[in-house]
């Protein structure tokens, strides 16, 4: 869609992105900070994010090869780490041609690796399962896996694992997980990577050689109870325009299912965004939006293309005013809490019909 008559947009603040990166990178000073830009850069447009960071980031990470190839077609030439490794044997060839590093987590991938002739020249990272039980080799498999790598591959090897509860500052699980990984790291004398955003912020001992920065890069803190020395800046502002204003009488219902009833004469604004744009259908009446410096509550059900908000108590609101659904004034966490989900899901669900527009 090139014609934009509708002004519903996700505005992306790349200066904020760069500031967040520099701030977190500085917190984990002795390790390399990988920028995780899977899922289209957490919904921010991976190529735009990568371009803004490409001079300071050594390594980007995505989930799978297709995401990395999309970066290459957009002219991003930094090394890319593939977090789920190869899905097909031919992915190894693609990785060599394109300078992708592969995170290997299962025996079938090691078999493909061993079958390569000449040997795979890219960097190999091994995923160790230290207790999340999602992906990775069990600790006691590592010896056997090591024996299947070539000397070159072993010399450059990075051992990785992933926290399951890093955002819980009182949890003992991260300590146990880190200890398991560090035991292997000292045994084999290789590099390691453990920390995601919450790991970086809550568990400094986990920084290691490479951190994997996702959520916090986009200006959202995963560690609500750990105040940061400098606030992160939300990178995405999801916004839409008011396209209609109505006044309804006491007792009138609003929206599908008649879930909200006016308790007083109510002035309503209809805003051009709905669940087809990624605004959650689950959002309850009362979820805040921001208009002209004021807060208004969502009322009634979220429709496919529209929402209605109560502007009775607001001043000077007109058709064509811009409404912020989340961003610098409305925390995405509040919207997530009001719709039984998490910030990660809201960010990555902003749909294709919402243009990602660079701020400024
Ligand atoms: C997505 C992902 C990250 C980034 O996690 P955040 O919580 O967003 O910082 C790190 N490591 C792996 C393996 C991931 O899949």
Active-site residue, selected from the candidate residues 58, 152, 253, 256: 256
What does each C-alpha distance from 107 to 98, 332, 350 come to in angstroms? Answer: 24, 39, 36
Pocket test of ligand 1: the residue of 31, 44, 83 to mutate, having most ligand atoms within 8 Å of its CB, is 83
To which CATH superfamily is domain 236-358 assigned? Lyase, Ornithine Decarboxylase; Chain A, domain 1 (2.40.37.10)
Cα 204 off chain centre by: 21
Residue 200 Cβ inside 6 Å of ligand 1? The answer reads: no
- Quote the mean pLDDT of the chain: 97
Is residue 197 within 6 Å of ligand 1 at its C-beta?
yes
Q: State the pLDDT confidence band at 227, using cuts at 50, 70 and 90.
A: confident
Say yes or no: CB of residue 215 within 6 Å of ligand 1: yes
Closest ligand 1 atom, residue 213 Cα: 9
Predicted confidence at residue 181, as pLDDT, reads 98
Q: How much distance in Å is there from the Cα of 345 to the middle of ligand 1? A: 13
Question: Mind listing the pLDDT tens digit for each residue in 182-194?
Answer: 999 999 999 999 9
Q: Is 105 in the pocket of ligand 1 (CB under 6 A)?
A: no
What is the per-residue pLDDT across 264-286, written as a single tens digit (0 to 9) for each?
A: 999 999 999 999 999 999 999 99
Query: Does residue 21 have an active-site annotation?
Result: no
Q: What CATH architecture does domain 31-218 belong to?
A: Alpha-Beta Barrel (3.20)
Give pLDDT tens digits for 14-73: 999 999 999 999 999 999 999 999 999 999 999 999 999 999 999 999 999 999 999 999
Q: Is the pLDDT of residue 2 over 70?
A: no
Q: pLDDT tens digits, residue range 241-259?
A: 999 999 999 999 999 999 9
* Closest atom of ligand 1 to CA, residue 83: 13
Q: Is 162 in the pocket of ligand 1 (CB under 6 A)?
A: yes
- 42 token code pair: 């957490």
Q: Is 88 a residue of the active site?
A: no
* pLDDT score at 218: 98
Say yes or no to pLDDT of 200 above 80.
yes
> What percentage of the chain exceeds 70 in pLDDT?
99
Rounded distance between C-alpha atoms, residue 331 and residue 336, angstroms: 9
Q: 110 CA distance to ligand 1 centroid (A)?
A: 23
CA atoms within 13 A on the CB side of 222: 24
95 is written with which tokens? 């990785």
Cβ of 53 closer than 6 Å to ligand 1, yes or no, is: no
Which of 134, 136, 214, 232 has most ligand 1 atoms within 8 Å of CB, for mutation?
214
pTM of the model: 0.97
| Ligand 1 contacts CB of residue 296 (under 6 A) | no
Domain range summary for the chain, segments of one domain joined by +? 31-218, 236-358
Report the atom number in ligand 1 closest to the C-alpha of 127.
13
Mean pLDDT, residues 314-323 taken together: 98
């Amino acid at each position: 869609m090139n014609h934009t008559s509708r002004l519903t947009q996700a505005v992306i603040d790349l200066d904020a992105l760069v500031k967040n990166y520099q701030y977190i990178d500085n917190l984990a000073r002795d390790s390399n900070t990988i920028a995780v830009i899977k899922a289209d850069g957490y919904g921010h447009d991976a190529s735009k994010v990568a371009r803004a960071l490409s001079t300071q980031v050594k390594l980007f990470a995505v989930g799978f090869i297709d995401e990395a190839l999309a970066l290459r077609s957009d002219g991003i030439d930094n090394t890319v780490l593939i977090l789920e490794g190869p899905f097909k044997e031919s992915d190894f060839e693609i990785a060599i041609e394109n300078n992708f590093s592969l995170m290997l987590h299962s025996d079938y991938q090691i078999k493909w690796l061993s079958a390569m002739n000449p040997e795979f020249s890219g960097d190999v990272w091994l995923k160790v399962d230290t207790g999340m039980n999602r992906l990775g080799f069990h600790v006691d498999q590592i010896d056997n896996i090591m024996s299947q790598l070539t000397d070159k591959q072993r010399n450059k090897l990075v051992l990785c694992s992933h926290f399951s509860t890093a955002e819980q500052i009182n949890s003992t699980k991260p300590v146990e997980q880190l200890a398991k990984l560090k035991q292997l790291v000292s045994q084999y004398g290789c590099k390691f990577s453990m920390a995601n955003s919450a790991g970086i912020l809550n568990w400094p001992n986990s920084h290691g050689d490479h951190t994997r920065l996702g959520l916090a890069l986009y200006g959202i803190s995963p560690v609500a109870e750990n105040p940061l020395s400098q606030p992160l800046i939300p990178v995405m502002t999801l916004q839409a325009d008011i396209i209609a204003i109505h006044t309804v009488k006491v007792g009138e219902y609003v929206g599908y299912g008649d879930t909200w009833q006016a308790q007083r004469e109510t002035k309503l604004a209809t805003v051009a965004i709905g669940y087809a744009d990624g605004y959650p259908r689950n959002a309850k009446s009362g979820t805040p939006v921001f208009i002209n410096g004021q807060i208004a509550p969502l009322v009634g059900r979220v429709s496919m293309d529209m929402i209605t908000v109560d502007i009775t108590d607001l001043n000077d609101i007109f058709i064509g005013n811009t409404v912020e659904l989340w961003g610098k004034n409305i925390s995405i966490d509040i919207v997530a809490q009001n719709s039984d989900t998490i910030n990660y899901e809201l960010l990555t669900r902003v749909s294709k019909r919402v243009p990602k527009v660079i701020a400024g």
